[in-house]
Amino acid sequence: MRRHKEHSRRLPAGPRQTGPRALSGRLPGAVAVVAAAALALAGCSGSSSSSSSASATGSPQASGSPQVSGSPQASPTPGQQNGGTQLQDAYQTVIANVLPSVVQITTGESLGSGIVYDDKGDIVTNAHVVGTATTFTVTLANSTTALDATLVGSYPDSDLAVIKLSSPPSGLKPASFGDSSKVQLGQITLAMGSPLGLTSSVTQGIVSAVGRTVTEPQGPGSPGATIGNMVQTSAAINPGNSGGALTNLDSQVIGINTLAATEPQTNGAAAPGIGFAIPASTITNIANQLIKQGKVTNSGRAALGVTARTSFNQQFQPAGAVIVSVTPGGAAASAGLQAGDVITKIDDTQVDSLNALTTALASLTPGRNVTVTYTRGGTTKTVDVSLGELGTP
């Protein structure tokens, strides 16, 4: 199978948890053998159980012995059958409704996914999928014909971009976007895209958490954006899924697949069941601005109006975010903050690096009043700041 340089973002998972895996190496010999046998049986249950069942049902039964295949417990009740069928039907309905709106995007040797945004040929995807490219080929879910597309606009700070088909075909099916405020823990989700170049693939899971603030690794087209309010899902998100749709069972897109977690202790191996999607409200806000004006002026994200870098103490440990420059007329300038000031806290949130400052701001909203703690000339000071809004000139 042809290898692609598929687009996906990976970030470290939390500290590795201790558990059975860590303990198994210290099991006594006899116990270890039993455990290994149990694992082998569990791993082969799909194939060996059917052959064992055939052998049992084909063997002569002792007089009066019940037939296993006839045991009432062996068959699901009508209610269980109906419930399973209904859920299966719901999955298939969502797939039929949404999958035609999910496309594959190719940029040279790189590959990702996208979502049809309107019937004019606009497609929303991740900024890291488009990278620095301005031309693309797009393959629709119901076609093998590659279509040309060009860049409308990219907003790496929220890792979103819009491209447009040069000659939109008739019958394009725009996706329906859901209400981000109604996304709840435990909701069933389906992730659609082109993982590893396998077009129109679907995985399933649930909403594991909402309101996550996640910092991406740096890469082509992405400065290592810190994105707030992300949806965490257990649906598998693999390389090539980036830019694809995360949907609910109402056939609505509730997020755009963006990140998959990895474990640093396993040399970057995937951490199963931990993926992140940018919420629908952010998608529609950014996409509408990119389509109408080619840039973003109202991101809905809080900003201090400064350029900063990580500050280090005498022991060369991160100790804050030092302001390099202040935007004239911005929130920091209006509050009297200056270049050289070292920010150490936003309200009660400690700031020991530029990343910590960015993360703290990602969870806040424009117009909110916060107390900024900073040092100037070795003296600790505080000032109240009314946050501005992150945008582009």
- The pLDDT of residue 179 is 93
CB atoms within 10 A of CB 389: 17
What totals of helices (H) and strands (E) does the chain contain, helices first?
8, 22
pLDDT above 90: residue 223: no
Tokens of 268: 């970057």
Using the structure block, give the residue that is written with the tokens 């007329």.
329
Task: Give residue 200's pLDDT band: very low, low, confident or very high (50, 70, 90).
Answer: confident
CA-to-CA distance for 25 and 28, rounded, in angstroms? 9
More confident residue, 359 or 320: 320
- The pLDDT of residue 375 is 96
pLDDT above 90: residue 199: no
CA-to-CA distance for 15 and 349, rounded, in angstroms? 21
Tokens of 207: 């909403």
Tokens of 70: 């006839």
Among 3.90.1010.10, 2.40.10.120, 3.90.1150.10, 3.90.550.10, name the CATH number for the domain at 1-9+79-295. Answer: 2.40.10.120
Cβ burial of 220 (10 Å; 0-12, 13-18, 19+) is: middle
- The pLDDT of residue 108 is 80
Domain boundaries, the chain: 1-9+79-295, 302-389
More confident residue, 267 or 78: 267
Cα 281 versus chain centre, distance: 14
From the list 199, 194, 175, the residue with the least C-alpha distance to 247 is: 175
pLDDT above 70: residue 291: yes
Segment 287-297 shows an average pLDDT of 94
Task: Give residue 269's pLDDT band: very low, low, confident or very high (50, 70, 90).
Answer: low
Task: Give residue 327's pLDDT band: very low, low, confident or very high (50, 70, 90).
Answer: very high
pLDDT of 46-78, one tens digit each? Answer: 333 333 333 333 333 333 333 333 334 445 555
Any bridge partners for residue 382, and if so which?
373
Task: Give residue 218's pLDDT band: very low, low, confident or very high (50, 70, 90).
Answer: confident
How far from 68 is each of 44, 48, 57, 60, 313, CA to CA, in Å? Answer: 20, 16, 7, 12, 72
- The pLDDT of residue 224 is 77
- The pLDDT of residue 374 is 96
Segment 300-319 shows an average pLDDT of 90
CB–CB of 172/157 below 8 Å?
Answer: no
Task: Give residue 103's pLDDT band: very low, low, confident or very high (50, 70, 90).
Answer: very high
More confident residue, 44 or 358: 358
One-letter amino acid at 181 equals S
- The pLDDT of residue 72 is 42
- The pLDDT of residue 373 is 97
Tokens of 46: 């799909």
In this prediction, what percent of the chain has a pLDDT beyond 70? Answer: 76
Instruction: Please give the positions annotated as active site.
Output: 128, 159, 242
Q: CATH homologous superfamily for 302-389? A: PDZ domain (2.30.42.10)
Weakest mean pLDDT among 169-183, 217-231, 305-319:
217-231
